[in-house]
Amino acid sequence: MAGEWCPIDCNLATKPEVLELVDETGDPADAVIGRLVQLWLWSAMNSEDGTARMTVGRLGRLFGGSDTFWAGVQRVGWLQVDEASGTVAIPGWERRFGSAAKARAQAAVRHARDKESRRASAQGGGAGASDPGRASVAELGELGDKNSSSSPREAWPEIREAWNATPTLKPWKPDRPPKQHAEHLDDTAWCTDALAAIQRLPRCRFFKTPPTLLQLFSPGFVDKVLAGTFDEPPGRQTGRDFGDGPAPPKVFTGEVAEAFERTRRKLAAAKEGT
């Protein structure tokens, strides 16, 4: 793989939590977003469950931002600090980042299998007929197709049956798999992941219409399902702890109103200066 990765909301810049942090701290939106993304990336590389040894002071030294900023991140529900144990935690970690970690691990396994298969193929291609103790890759493949009951192509009936047995999916009537990207059926790891994705699809709220089998076979679709990319409706604003939350108030009051007014005055002054 080219490198590690973790999912980031496409609408992060317009989330109520980010807007509140911008208003409360007076920091630019890009600085706020940059610190949050750095926090999540650091956590992805240094934690298995979203909890890691860290203090607020170290957060500031690593990613910037004052203690007030990180207190704001705690207030909006995106950070938990345990001063007694010297740890910080990311709420909602397993639901958001756990699936991505699983998808990365599965992709790494598939990559390792492909690499090993290519190495075995290269070694097998050099075997001569005079070496009776070494069968060619083609011979081994033919033997496996005859004797194995779990070859990749034989997984198609199981995938089709699982798909048609799921009420929320659009049924696939043909006996044959889709012509486009049917080569996926030659990949045992993909077939295993596809069955897992079919089980997960009913919980995906992204789709307005029932998903189709053509989508399942499209490049990257299975990995995205397993990574939780389609768990939430498209463009939906999510609340604290990456879950559902109340909509932002139409009329601001208290400290939020004061912060909003400060921002409005700054924008007005900047406009007059242009």
| Burial class (CB within 10 angstroms; exposed 0-12, middle 13-18, buried 19+) of 226 | buried
Matching residue, tokens 């009776």: 132
Which of 66-80, 93-107, 219-233 bottoms out in mean pLDDT, i.e. has the lowest?
A: 93-107
pTM of the model: 0.40
Confidence tier at 147 by pLDDT (50, 70, 90): very low
Looking at the domain assignment, is residue 1 inside a domain?
no
Same domain, 222 and 144: yes
- In a domain? residue 237: no
Where is 51: in which H helix or E strand?
strand 51-53
The whole-angstrom separation of Cα 64 and Cα 61 is: 6
3-state secondary structure of 157: helix
Residue 164 resides in a domain: yes
Residues 66, 100 within the same domain: no
**Is it the case that residue 195 has pLDDT exceeding 80?**
yes
Q: Is residue 119 located within the same domain as residue 84?
A: no
- Supply the mean pLDDT for the chain: 77
The number of distinct structural domains making up the chain is 2
pLDDT in tens, 111-144: 777 777 777 777 765 444 444 444 444 443 443 4
Backbone dihedral region of 212: left (phi > 0), alpha (psi from -120 to 50 degrees) or beta?
A: beta
Do residues 111 and 215 both lie within one domain?
yes
Q: Are residues 122 and 185 in the same domain?
A: yes
* pLDDT one-digit tens code per residue, 25-47: 999 999 999 999 999 888 878 87
Decide if 6 is inside a domain. no
Q: What is the pLDDT of residue 240?
A: 46
Q: Which residues are CB-neighbours of 263 under 8 A, at least 6 positions away? A: 22, 23, 26
Query: Which structural domain range is residue 52 located in?
Result: 12-91+244-273
pLDDT value of position 235: 64
pLDDT tens readout for residues 80-95: 998 888 889 888 777 6
